[in-house]
């Protein structure tokens, strides 16, 4: 079966099929030169096909760009969420570590003071310091001290940071007091304290004054605030009133609950035999 004619002679009307790329072709019947309309038609079809391919390529490019933009937006969102989740995870871990540990540690020997007859103890002194942090807030709003002496217990015996009895605007600093310019202050000079109604704080007293059941913090090398800084030395002073004094073999439990941190527990047992009217180290 022959191919379909694609050109016709304008003189004799003869039709035939040509694939010539010349602009003028010769009619096989009359040898008349006529324009090669088949070439024009092929070029037109080719141009249409190329144009269609260009349109399809442009559409594909637009779709590809849209996918790239969407992928970039999703990638940014995923990366942003990942960074946010990482940061939140870091904060949660830090808070968990902070709450699982305590920034306060015992720094030295715990002392108890015996009464005149040596049968009971009415003062406990625990040296403490900040550990792993710049400071530990010891205000009355940030700290709770639970106290148990034998069968008696107090949910919160903390009275706050000890203030100077001569200036209730300044915290008491035992490291700045001297006797005769050479002898450092003794524990008896600040283990008693009383409440100042005017200032609303507990101020320094001496051991000879009437003791109340409570706990205060005296800060050596203090900068005057209610925080125990890294370079400062703290003395947790627990005093017991006459009716609460601890006899021999009594267990004393002190729990210091700081803001957003673990509890520091201190357990001591009063010795069976003690010299009267003196300080006894508890090992």
Is 90 exceeded by the pLDDT of residue 228?
Answer: yes
Is 70 exceeded by the pLDDT of residue 108?
Answer: yes
Nearest to 266 by CA among 248, 251, 247: 251
Residue 103 has a pLDDT of 84
Is 80 exceeded by the pLDDT of residue 91?
Answer: no
Residue 99 has a pLDDT of 46
Task: Compare 260 and 133 and report the one with higher pLDDT.
Answer: 133
Q: What confidence tens digit (pLDDT) does each residue in 141-184 have? A: 989 999 999 999 999 999 999 999 888 989 999 987 665 666 67
Per-residue confidence at 97, pLDDT binned at 50, 70, 90?
A: very low
CA distances from 209 to 36, 60, 155, 193, 219 (A): 129, 93, 25, 8, 21
Per-residue confidence at 100, pLDDT binned at 50, 70, 90?
A: very low
Task: Compare 185 and 46 and report the one with higher pLDDT.
Answer: 185
Report the pLDDT averaged over residues 83-110. Answer: 70
Are 123 and 112 in contact, with CB atoms under 8 Å apart? yes
Report pTM: 0.65
d(CA 195, CA 179): 25
Residue 92 has a pLDDT of 58
Mean confidence (pLDDT) of the chain = 84
Q: What confidence tens digit (pLDDT) does each residue in 194-210 have? A: 999 999 999 999 998 78
């Amino acid at each position: 079966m022959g191919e379909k004619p694609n050109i016709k002679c304008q003189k004799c009307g003869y039709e035939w099929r040509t694939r010539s790329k010349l602009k003028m072709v010769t009619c096989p019947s009359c040898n008349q030169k006529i324009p090669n309309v088949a070439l024009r038609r092929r070029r037109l079809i080719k141009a249409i096909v190329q144009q269609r391919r260009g349109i399809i390529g442009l559409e594909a490019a637009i779709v590809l760009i849209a996918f790239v933009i969407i992928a970039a937006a999703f990638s940014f969102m995923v990366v942003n969420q990942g960074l946010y989740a990482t940061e939140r995870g870091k904060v949660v871990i830090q808070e968990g570590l902070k709450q699982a540990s305590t920034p306060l540690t015992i720094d030295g020997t715990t002392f108890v003071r015996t009464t005149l007859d040596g049968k009971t103890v009415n003062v406990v002194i625990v040296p403490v310091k900040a550990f792993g942090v710049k400071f530990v807030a010891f205000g009355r709003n940030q700290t709770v001290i639970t106290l148990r002496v034998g069968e008696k217990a107090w949910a919160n015996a903390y009275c706050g940071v000890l203030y100077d009895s001569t200036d209730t605007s300044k915290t008491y600093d035992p490291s700045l007091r001297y006797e005769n310019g050479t002898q450092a202050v003794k524990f008896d000079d600040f283990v008693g304290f009383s409440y100042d109604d005017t200032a609303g704080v507990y101020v320094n007293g001496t051991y000879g004054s009437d003791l109340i059941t409570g706990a205060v913090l005296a800060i050596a090398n203090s900068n005057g605030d209610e925080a125990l800084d890294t370079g400062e030395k703290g003395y947790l002073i627990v005093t017991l009133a006459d009716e609460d004094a601890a006899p021999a073999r009594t267990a004393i439990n002190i729990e210091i609950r700081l803001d957003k941190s673990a509890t520091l527990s201190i357990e001591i047992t009063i010795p069976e035999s003690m010299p009267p009217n003196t300080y006894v180290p508890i090992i």
